[in-house]
Every structure is written in C-alpha cells, then in structure tokens.
Amino acid sequence: MEKRRCHFCFGTKKYPVSEKSLLYHDTRWCKPEHRDGELFAMLVLEGMQAGVSWELILNKEENFRKAFDGFDPRIVASYDEKKVEALMQDKGIIRNRSKIWAAIANARAFLKVQEEFGSFDAFLWGFTGGKVIDHHLADGAEMPAKDALSEKISADLRRRGFKFAGPTIVYSYMQGVGMINDHAEYCDFR
C-alpha cells in the first residue's frame, strides 16, 4: 500500500515534485533537529529560499554545502569580500549578494548565541520548552505562513543581528527543524 503524504507532495503536471522533495518531506521536514551544525545549515538555506522555490534550494543543497564550507558557522563568519566575490561566481548556488552577506552576518550572530546559551539548540528550542508544537492540521489549507511564535523568534533573532529572519522565513525554519509539526493528520510521515 502506498504511503499517504501531505497535499503539497502531489505537485502538478507543470511542476512535478522531485524525489529530493519527497525524501525531504519524508525524513527531514517537521522532524526535530538539535545539532547546531544542521540548525545553522537550515537557517542559511531558509534565508536563501526567500523568493524562490524550496525545490530549487533542495536541488542546490549539496552545492550550498560545498560552497559554504559544510555550513561551519566559524568558517562562514570569517568570509570576506574576496570570498563573497567567489561565491557570486558559483553557478551551483543562489548568487544573491544580499543573501550571501546575510549568511555571513547570521554565522557571526549564531556564534554569539552559542556563546551566550551554550548552544544554538538551547536558545532556539527554549522558545518551545524543548517540545514540538503539533498543529494537527486536517490539510494544508490550515497551515499558516507565520504565527505569533515565529514573530517572537523573528524579533529576537533580528535584535541579535540575524538577517533574512522575518516571521514567514522563521515559521518555515521552525517546520524545517521540527519545532513545528505541520504534517497533515492523514500523512503517514507525521
């Protein structure tokens, strides 16, 4: 018997859903992530996704990981104009200067949060008391683009110097790192 998935996994004839997207849905989306390295990686990827499809980001994810030194925040925080220019020539990633500089600013802010809280994980999951918020959605039509918590986290992140961290990006990030479970009730991958 075929497993049931959230509505957005069906795609359309014009925009079919890739195997990468299905794998992401099945194994990563709304699954709790606590490793600081992956929390930073998702922060960069979600920021890069602004204005483009998540499908595009997933298709370029491995290129991003190589180009951004495995998303090691200590290395990314040290990037300079020369490195930004090299990244702007990399056809395997999103070549948007503002987003690249945001990733650098976010790496620097990320390191400060780690220093203050012991880990980014402790900081981030502190907003939910370490628990996953499960919305028990009947279907995708109920899924918000943002909520009060994403607005609160967004404000805190921006106060700390994070860029491309508005409430909508933060809500998507919270789904991506499993703080929120927005799988539809009928989805076998809840």
> Annotated catalytic residue: which of 15, 19, 29, 46?
46
How would you write the pLDDT of the chain (190 residues) with one tens digit per residue? Answer: 789 999 888 777 777 888 999 999 999 999 999 999 999 999 999 999 999 999 999 999 999 999 999 999 999 999 999 999 999 999 999 999 999 999 999 999 999 999 999 999 999 999 999 999 999 999 877 899 999 999 999 999 999 999 999 999 999 999 999 999 999 999 999 9
Cα–Cα–Cα angle for 114, 120, 126, rounded to 5 degrees: 120
> Given 2, 15, 19, 24, which residue is catalytic?
24
Q: Spell out the domains of the chain, with CATH numbers in brackets.
A: 25-181 (1.10.340.30)
Residue 46 known to be catalytic: yes
Catalytic residue among 2, 19, 29, 54: 54
> What's the one-letter identity of residue 122?
A
Residue 51: half-sphere exposure toward Cβ, Cα within 13 Å: 8
How far is the C-alpha of 47 from the C-alpha of 176, rounded, in Å? 12
Active-site residue 24, yes or no? Answer: yes
Q: Give the pLDDT of residue 167.
A: 98
